[in-house]
Amino acid sequence: MSWVLIALLGVPLAGAAVLLVPSRPAPSGTRTKAGTETNAGTETGTSTGAETGGGVGTGTGAGAGTGTGAGPGGGTGTNTGTRTSTGAGGDAGGRLLRTHALVVSGVTFGLSLILVAAFGGDAAGARFSTDLAWVPGLDLRFHIGVDGVSLPLVVLTTLLTFLCFVYLCWGRADGPGQLLQPKPGGGRPRALVFTLLVLEVGMIGTFLALDLLLFFVFFEIVLIPMYFVIAIWGGRARRAAAIKFILYTLLGSVVLLLGLLFVWAQTGTLDMVALARAHGAGMSRSAQVLAFVAVGIGLAVKTPMWPLHTWLPAAHTEAPTVGSVLLAGVLLKMGTYGFARIAIPILPEGAAAVAPWLGAFAVIGIIYGSLACLAQRDLKRMIAYSSIGHMGFVLLGFATLTPVGVNAALFGNVAHGLITGLLFFVVGAIKERYGTADISALGGGMLGRLPRLASLLTFACVASLGLPGLAGFWGEMLALLGAFEPAPGLPRSLYLTFMAIGGLGAVLTAAYFLVMLSRVTHGRSIEIVHAPLLASAGGAGQAAGDVTAGDVTAGDVTAGDVTGSVTAEDITAGGVTAGGVTAGGVTAEDVTGSVTAEDVTAGGVMGGVTVGGEDDGPAVPAHARAGRMRDVTGYELAAWVPLVALILLLGLWPKVLLSATDPVVQSLLGVP
């Protein structure tokens, strides 16, 4: 059965490699097509990345003839003729690519399910292992295997990757957040699929590796793809966020490498299985403490632990939806997994010495994350900070060094992956629709306008704050329980304090989620329809002009940017009768005094269309084309329902997961 593990790594790798080969002729292909279009999406686009990511209403169907247009970076509006031809040209290749991505990630997910099915029985000890010499000179072996700790994470990885591709590829793949549609100046779908597949290889490999250096190699492999996911498909400040992400995590992983090499210098082996079995034999206490600190810092950057977390909010905020999902859902888990797999079992004495500190940082992280969340105005940023709080619970679980605590940590790990994955999906969808994730800008009353989306948001938030019966509960509760009775040798009174603070943190968690929900989903339904034309456009400032209650102000219009269009019917449908239309800088043939002009081709309209007011009533149909606010769509549902189901499953039946991790945890901790 060891072929399954090889295949788990090989399938996405091969899938990525296949993409590499025919991508070469793509640029020449586009060059022959007079450069107005990009079918492989590699050629054009401004460097600031004017992606029409929020082109919600534009060009959804074949019948979208009414002035929908997302022109090339050059900036003039394109007529529908070229538009459709681009669509037709890119579609065949696009569909092939989407099928390819879905099949590869689906097969990988299937393989992980086969692994689950074949796993069964006693979970302790590495199964299906492969052990080959790779670099004898460095003592580096290609040693992979799976056990009860890594299996759930492998499944989580393949599941989330698959769901990300479902989200990206389902249907015609031109909905909000579906980055695979070839778009001028954006897209580059082939590169995105390639990057995500390589990312998957790195993530799976990290969880499978049983050799310290091999673990490190896989740990590093994810850096570059994640960097590009943020730097290319991210939001406005993506470049800085990506650089921060990669520098921080690289610094962490270099320290980790030093720690691993130090372990090696002391014990002379890199085999995790043998090292875990030895339980620190052969290393002096001081050496273990040193090694634990080095390895711990390296892992804590990735986790992230409180003082080392500063890369996380920026990265999460700027990453595209799928990037955020994978970052929160899987990448953070690599850090905590390292604690369970390397730091604690291999260096028990070091762990015992450092654990109180780890616990202290963990509870600081919990409180800090919660307080920071209370202060956030941006939804994505808030969820990023909430991750810091949740990872605090996970670390607190590890810091107890008891089976209960470590089990709690591993459970919390998986639960957080599912819940935060879902949260980022939902928030990403909100951001695509509204064009902003700013809480106050979102207004309120989402339950009224987008009932299903708002319900899902509520569900995810409630799961995240740890409502009993949902997955988030068990991780926090067991971690606090573990802190109630820490391992012998650890100061119990200190841990009781940790527990109390952690409990307070749980209350704060509930507080910020509920406050956020009350502000976003409930409340007065002020309709602010931010024209989603430029949801992710870079460059000039946002929110320059609003169409507010009959006022069309296209203030900061810089021709030559991305073009969008506001069809007149929609605005009139929104109850806007020809008010004062200020079109500053628009070549205003189309923008007449009354907004009955057929097209307001506003090149680079930054901002939103705030329609309505107190008594908008039925006059504002949510499906108005300009501010089209579709509720949860098919592809979103397809990607999210499995997560919802799993959150419910784990919440109601936590034994599924705990029975897999517990035997391994017992053996890793050396409990007789």
What is the rounded CA–CA span in Å between residue 53 and residue 14?
Answer: 29
Contacts of 502 (CB under 8 A, 6+ apart): 362, 363, 366, 392, 393, 396, 476, 479, 480, 483
Closer Cβ to another protein, 46 or 509, answer by number: 46
CB of 354 to another protein, least distance (A): 18
CB of 659 to another protein, least distance (A): 35
Closer Cβ to another protein, 258 or 637, answer by number: 258
Q: Are strands 607-608 and 545-546 parallel, antiparallel or unpaired?
A: parallel
CB of 598 to another protein, least distance (A): 28
Residue with tokens 């002020």: 526
Closer Cβ to another protein, 52 or 400, answer by number: 52
What is the rounded CA–CA span in Å between residue 561 and residue 546?
Answer: 18
CB of 265 to another protein, least distance (A): 4
C-alpha pair distances (Å), 475 with each of 303, 414, 460: 16, 9, 15
Alpha carbon 648 to its chain's center:
20
User: Angle, to 10 degrees, between the axis of helix 285-302 and the axis of helix 348-375?
Assistant: 30
CB of 35 to another protein, least distance (A): 6
Handedness of CA 404, 405, 408, 410 (dihedral sign): negative
Query: Which of 462, 484, 535, 16 is closest to 225 using CA atoms?
Result: 16
Closer Cβ to another protein, 304 or 574, answer by number: 304
Q: Provide the binding-site residues for another protein, judged by CB under 8 A.
A: 23-24, 27, 31, 35, 42-47, 72-74, 134-138, 198, 202, 213, 217, 220-221, 223-224, 227-228, 231-232, 239, 243, 246-247, 250-251, 254-255, 257-258, 261-262, 264-265
DSSP-assigned beta bridge partners for residue 133: 141
Instruction: Give the tokens for residue 66.
Output: 């009414």
CB of 184 to another protein, least distance (A): 9
Closer Cβ to another protein, 36 or 666, answer by number: 36
CB of 207 to another protein, least distance (A): 16
CB of 142 to another protein, least distance (A): 11
Closer Cβ to another protein, 297 or 641, answer by number: 297
| Other CB atoms within 10 Å distance of the CB of residue 672 | 3
C-alpha pair distances (Å), 87 with each of 80, 157, 184, 193, 334: 10, 33, 11, 19, 40
Closer Cβ to another protein, 221 or 619, answer by number: 221
What is the rounded CA–CA span in Å between residue 331 and residue 311?
Answer: 13
Closer Cβ to another protein, 51 or 378, answer by number: 51
Closer Cβ to another protein, 177 or 202, answer by number: 202
CB of 44 to another protein, least distance (A): 5
User: Angle, to 10 degrees, between the axis of helix 238-267 and the axis of helix 212-221?
Assistant: 170
What is the rounded CA–CA span in Å between residue 88 and residue 181?
Answer: 12
Instruction: Give the tokens for residue 386.
Output: 């909430």
